[in-house]
Structure 1
Amino acid sequence: MILSKRRVAPWAAAFAVTALALTGCGSAKSTSASAGSHDITAAQNVVKQAQAPVTKFDFPKDAVSVPKDKLVIGIPCAYAAEGCKRGVDAVAEAAKTLGWRYQMIDPAGDPQKMRSAVRTAIQLHADGIVLGAVPASVVKDDVAAARSAGIKVVNTFEPAPEGFADANSLYDHVQAGRANAAYVAAATNGAGKVISVNDSEFQSDVELHQGFTDGLKELCPGCEIAKDFDFQIANLQSQVPTQFQAILQANPKANAVWTAYDPVALAIAPVITRSAQNGKLTVVSHNGDPEALQAIKAGNQPFSASVAFSVEWQSYAAMDQMVRLFDGSLPANLKTVNVPQKLVNKDNVTSVPWDGDIDWKSAYTKLWKTTK
């Protein structure tokens, strides 16, 4: 876990929070004291679309020749963080398929070690670097040096400023936040009184929060943010549960909670189960972490839904970008790829972790023309 000035992406919080058995309220049914007279048709439609199985994706149309003898370095936020680990493990798997050499450098969530990892990649004369939830603000100068040395850099998980990397493999955070807003609107029959728990240290969470708050205004005019609470990831275990307990007690009419990412919902779940509001709160979040999906599937505790995306799919998309960068054929429309996402509650948990619903792996490997 990172302390004080050390910052890692929300994925790193997953290994610092114990796996708690949480869950959901099932489908988006009312949890408010009275149904009210709000029109939630638009919100219900958004929920339906967000929960639908993924059946298609705009994969690259052109096959690409895979160059030989390339060295790719994977740099996760922290290998102990499950999401970051899964991300670089998928990069390693794809590199093996491509016939490339691969090395992982683990900064263990330390910003200084993140910078050092990029510099080490330069010293190793790497051909490519895949960043897994490494904040652009931390490594921007080192990444610029790597790119000046001819190394191709693909950024994953965290949004980054234009020009930071050669390519980005992400998911649409604003859309994800809007899906959660729709779920809250439907679950509270348009009368949500929401406690928002956000970590604005990270651009991904800023975008998720914006999508949620804008979505709530659009889809639920009768909803309101009862309390907008912002915290820092370093305090997730030590302070957030106690602070949330005070907020919950100060807002007895609250009927919904939005959190920026699943480990936050996991951390505050014991507070909710001990409170007078237990069973009365719709709790929604993001990531689709395995612990979160298992809790949602169990259906007996205060975790209603999470917007999931496939970490592995994101990594394979990043490696497809890397192949095309090496080949000199990465078109503008593939410089940023948003992989699909899905709003998951107890009624539509199909896999843990979510596998993306379609065979994305074969779609990519069929495009990679390797030579023996």
Structure 2
Amino acid sequence: MTRIKHGSAAWAAVLAGALALTGCASSQGTPSSGGGNNDVSAARKVLGEATAKVTTFDFPAEQVAAPKDKLVVAVPCAYAAEGCKREVDAIAEAAKALGWRYQMIDPAGDPDKMRAAVRTAIQLHADGIFLGSIPSSVVKDDILTARSGGIKVVNMSEPAPDGFADANTLYDHTKAGRWNAAYLTVATKGAGKVISVNDPEFPSVVEWHQGFVDGLKELCPGCRMVKDTNFQIANLQTQVPTDFQATLQANPTANAVWTAYDPVALSLAPVIKRSPQNGKITVVSQNGDPGALQAIKAGDQPFKATIGVSVEWQSYAAVDQMVRLLAGNLPASLKTVNVPEKLISADNVSSIPWDGDLDWKDTYLKLWKTS
């Protein structure tokens, strides 16, 4: 599914905003609204797992000797977008620790420039390419050319078809959606009247949405979806708030909102606060962007919970895959790595951005032999 169909300048500007922003319902589900009396014990159990501190992770078991004098190129979706910037900045940091040469090529959200960035990496005779939140459908032909020429490719963040890249670092989008469903189930006492604000352009969001819908059916039989809406990212700051205002007016009993990603939730907050439903609606989302965590921590917004991911951890996991690829010994078990995620509410905001709860950086540095 192609996630970029808009003019490059408009898309880049909106994407930059979208990824830069990455009685209350607590992490244990203190209701903010609702009034139902349904059994929410199953949802409480899931919520306990979702909000738990990360204490373990299946790091690679074997050290690896990092090959010397390698050139790696990182291609972010847009360096002006905070999430993509953090991805490639962490790649640069790890590459420096390895003594590798590093170059970032910024396509600024332009699909044509994304393809051109991969072709430039080929011309530079790069040893490896990191794709930071780049839609596979946009660059698939050029990535095939790169890999055919022996360049190793690690895909980050966005789901991709089997065989697209040499390795993938992701997280479990479907589980994240299910965790959102558990939170809303408890917050509404099992009587959620839910509005979904979905962006099906993004493969990751498609998985989030499906996990949420399926999770709601599983955990909250007393909940119902009163409106399931779609939008396109190019309209995030303009049409989406206006359309949502009309949706709220048409659904005055709504008490819960699921959004595609954090910037959507933040853009809808002023609409909710101006509405008669203010104080009666709980909003959940995902990304764990700093702006979202700050709003959640403040506790004065309808935005109550998000799914956090440590972007930097994901990048170091990607570099570990690249080290092993260039050393010729990436085991099948490490071809796809899902980094931890966590449902974050006002009760458990431990850092902004979320640091992952573990000392993953030191662990990876100790795995890489550089002398």
**TM-score normalized by structure 1?**
0.95
Does residue 16 in structure 1 map to residue 25 in structure 2? no
1:291-306 equivalence runs, <5 A: 291-306=291-306
Please give the alpha-carbon distance, in whole angstroms, between the structure 1 residues aligned to 2:16 and 2:116. 23
Does residue 232 in structure 1 map to residue 235 in structure 2? no
Q: Deviations over 1:170-226 (max 9, x none)?
A: 000000000000000000010101000111001100000010000000011111111
Please give the alpha-carbon distance, in whole angstroms, between the structure 2 residues aligned to 1:75 and 1:24. 40
Write the letter of the residue equivalent to 1:29.
T
Write the letter of the residue equivalent to 1:351.
S
Could you list the runs of 5+ residues in structure 1 that have no partner in the other structure? none
- Could you say what secondary structure the match of 2:207 adopts? helix
Report the counterpart of residue 345 of structure 1 in structure 2.
Answer: 345
1:33 deviation in Å? Answer: 4.1
Does residue 201 in structure 1 map to residue 191 in structure 2? no
- Could you say what secondary structure the match of 2:103 adopts? strand
**8 Å contact kept, 2:180–2:284:** yes
1:31 deviation in Å? Answer: 3.1
Q: 1:351 to 1:12 in 2, by over 3 A?
A: farther
**Identity across aligned pairs (percent)?**
69
1:49 deviation in Å? Answer: 0.8
1:298-317 equivalence runs, <5 A: 298-317=298-317
**8 Å contact kept, 2:308–2:354:** yes
**8 Å contact kept, 1:25–1:302:** no
Report the counterpart of residue 52 of structure 2 in structure 1.
Answer: 52
Write the letter of the residue equivalent to 1:173.
H
**8 Å contact kept, 1:11–1:82:** no
Report the counterpart of residue 182 of structure 2 in structure 1.
Answer: 182
Please give the alpha-carbon distance, in whole angstroms, between the structure 2 residues aligned to 1:57 and 1:11. 35
**8 Å contact kept, 2:90–2:316:** yes
Write the letter of the residue equivalent to 1:16.
G
Report the counterpart of residue 104 of structure 2 in structure 1.
Answer: 104
1:64-75 equivalence runs, <5 A: 64-75=64-75
Please give the alpha-carbon distance, in whole angstroms, between the structure 2 residues aligned to 1:248 and 1:37. 24
Write the letter of the residue equivalent to 1:31.
S
Please give the alpha-carbon distance, in whole angstroms, between the structure 2 residues aligned to 1:46 and 1:4. 37
Report the counterpart of residue 95 of structure 1 in structure 2.
Answer: 95
The count of corresponding residues between Structure 1 and Structure 2 is 367
Does residue 280 in structure 1 map to residue 280 in structure 2? yes
1:11 deviation in Å? Answer: 10
- Could you say what secondary structure the match of 1:222 adopts? coil
- Aligned-residue Cα RMSD (Å) equals 2.0
Please give the alpha-carbon distance, in whole angstroms, between the structure 1 residues aligned to 2:350 and 2:231. 32
Write the letter of the residue equivalent to 2:30.
K
- Could you say what secondary structure the match of 2:211 adopts? helix
Report the counterpart of residue 259 of structure 1 in structure 2.
Answer: 259
Report the counterpart of residue 160 of structure 2 in structure 1.
Answer: 160
Q: Deviations over 1:103-128 (max 9, x none)?
A: 00000000000000000000000000
Write the letter of the residue equivalent to 1:153.
V
Write the letter of the residue equivalent to 1:368.
W
Q: Deviations over 1:67-89 (max 9, x none)?
A: 00000000000000000000000
Report the counterpart of residue 216 of structure 2 in structure 1.
Answer: 216
Q: 1:240 to 1:11 in 2, by over 3 A?
A: same
Write the letter of the residue equivalent to 1:141.
D
Please give the alpha-carbon distance, in whole angstroms, between the structure 2 residues aligned to 1:14 and 1:234. 8
Write the letter of the residue equivalent to 1:189.
K
- Could you say what secondary structure the match of 1:344 adopts? strand
Q: 1:46 to 1:14 in 2, by over 3 A?
A: farther
**8 Å contact kept, 1:13–1:263:** no
**8 Å contact kept, 1:255–1:280:** yes
Please give the alpha-carbon distance, in whole angstroms, between the structure 2 residues aligned to 1:271 and 1:148. 50
Please give the alpha-carbon distance, in whole angstroms, between the structure 1 residues aligned to 2:288 and 2:80. 18
1:6 deviation in Å? Answer: 4.5
1:26 deviation in Å? Answer: 3.4
Please give the alpha-carbon distance, in whole angstroms, between the structure 1 residues aligned to 2:263 and 2:370. 40
Q: 1:25 to 1:353 in 2, by over 3 A?
A: same
**8 Å contact kept, 1:23–1:295:** no
Report the counterpart of residue 33 of structure 2 in structure 1.
Answer: 32
Superposed structure 1 runs of 4+ greater than 4 Å apart: 10-14, 17-20
Report the counterpart of residue 135 of structure 2 in structure 1.
Answer: 135
**8 Å contact kept, 1:24–1:305:** no
Does residue 5 in structure 1 map to residue 10 in structure 2? no
- Could you say what secondary structure the match of 2:303 adopts? coil
Q: 1:208 to 1:19 in 2, by over 3 A?
A: closer
Q: Deviations over 1:324-344 (max 9, x none)?
A: 001111111110000000000
Does residue 78 in structure 1 map to residue 41 in structure 2? no
Report the counterpart of residue 43 of structure 1 in structure 2.
Answer: 43
- Could you say what secondary structure the match of 1:184 adopts? helix
**8 Å contact kept, 2:20–2:81:** no
Q: 1:13 to 1:357 in 2, by over 3 A?
A: farther
Q: 1:174 to 1:287 in 2, by over 3 A?
A: same
**8 Å contact kept, 1:69–1:100:** yes
Please give the alpha-carbon distance, in whole angstroms, between the structure 2 residues aligned to 1:133 and 1:25. 31
**8 Å contact kept, 2:34–2:189:** no
